[in-house]
A and B are shown apart, each in its own frame.
Chain A
Amino acid sequence: EIVLTQSPSTLSLSPGERATLSCRATQGVSSSYLAWYQQKPGQAPRLLIYGASSWATGIPDRFNGSGSGTDFTLTISRLEPEDFAVYYCQQYGSSPLTFGGGTKVEIK
């Protein structure tokens, strides 16, 4: 099983700042089959990024995914008020599919 470790667990930032979220895998994620999701309280998760760096439909370009192998990053270039949420990475290249523990981006 591929274990995904996200860091930091909490990121305290102000609107307009840049957020950098990390996701590290215990073994290589095949074909960069890695996704990022955003979840707000009381809501279902929303797909942001798939294939490590491709935007899902309707996702603004301030969200950028990068990385390969075992190290992946989600960058939010300038935080908007609606971006404060919990973010999860997920690998879907091998079974069992697994999620990281999440990074909460909170308002400083």
Chain B
Amino acid sequence: QVQLVESGGGVVQPGRSLRLSCAASGFTFRTYGMHWVRQAPGKGLEWVAVISYDGSVKYYADPLKGRFTISRDNSKNTLYLQMNSLRAEDTAVYHCAKDRGDGDYNYYGMDVWGQGTTVTVSS
């Protein structure tokens, strides 16, 4: 079945880095755009970043530009999120999500979600 499984979360000190991974299965990963979305404890959803099916186009939430980098390895069916200079306000559950559309550079909503990986930034 179609599945996304995130990993790489944990407790990290402020200022440190962390890389999250999202392993995809059950669909043709290389043809779909992919997103990261986060949710701070008790808060709503916050879109983080999106990457096109081929990795050539990336967009970020404005506050995260320059600290977070989205990437993908289509040979490994895996999505990544490199997070640098982490702050307490980055504490959240991070979900990866598959875009509904395939094969172009537009976005159509997120139809498959992973359960998320928890990142806690604390000294």
On chain A, the residues within 8 Å of B45 by CB distance are 37, 39, 45, 88, 90, 99, 102
| Chain B hits for A86, CB < 8 A | 44
> Scoring B residues 49 to 65 as 1 if CB is less than 8 Å from chain A, else 0, what string do you get?
01000000001111000
Of A1, A33, A95, A98, which one neighbours B108 at CB under 8 angstroms? Answer: A33
- Docked Cα-Cα span, A31 to B107, in Å, equals 12
List 16 contacting pairs A-B, 8 Å CB cutoff, sorted by A. Answer: A1-B62, A33-B108, A35-B110, A44-B95, A47-B109, A50-B111, A51-B108, A56-B111, A92-B109, A95-B59, A96-B47, A96-B59, A96-B60, A97-B35, A97-B47, A99-B46
Please tell me if the beta carbons of A90 and B95 are within 8 angstroms of each other in the complex. no
Stretch from B14-22, B74-82, B84-92, B113-121 forming part of the interface with A: B113-121
* Contact call A50/B114, Cβ cutoff below 8 A: no
Kindly state whether residue B67 has any CB partner on chain A within 8 Å. no
| Residue A62 CB within 8 A of the other chain | no
B44 touches A88 (CB 8 A): yes
Q: Interface size bucket, B side?
A: 20 to 34
Interface residues of B (CB under 8 A from A): 35, 37, 44-47, 50, 59-62, 95, 100, 107-111, 113-116
B107→A92 contact, CB < 8 A: yes
User: Which of A43, A45, A56 has the most B CB atoms < 10 Å from its CB?
Assistant: A45
Tell me the minimal C-beta distance from A100 to chain B in angstroms. 8
Beyond A92-B107, A92-B108, 19 additional contacts (C-beta under 8 Å) are A33-B108, A35-B110, A39-B45, A50-B100, A50-B108, A56-B109, A56-B111, A57-B111, A90-B45, A90-B47, A96-B47, A96-B59, A96-B61, A97-B47, A97-B50, A97-B59, A97-B107, A99-B46, A102-B44
- Which residue of chain B has the shortest Cβ distance to A86 in the bound complex? B44
Chain A at the B interface: SS class: loop
Bound state CA distance, A46 and B115, in angstroms? 11
Among candidates A1, A43, A90, A96, residue contacting B109 with C-beta atoms closer than 8 Å: A90
Closest chain B residue, CB of each to CB of A48: B109
Report A-chain residues with C-beta under 8 Å of the C-beta of B116.
44
Q: Chain B residues with Cβ under 8 A from A39's Cβ?
A: 45
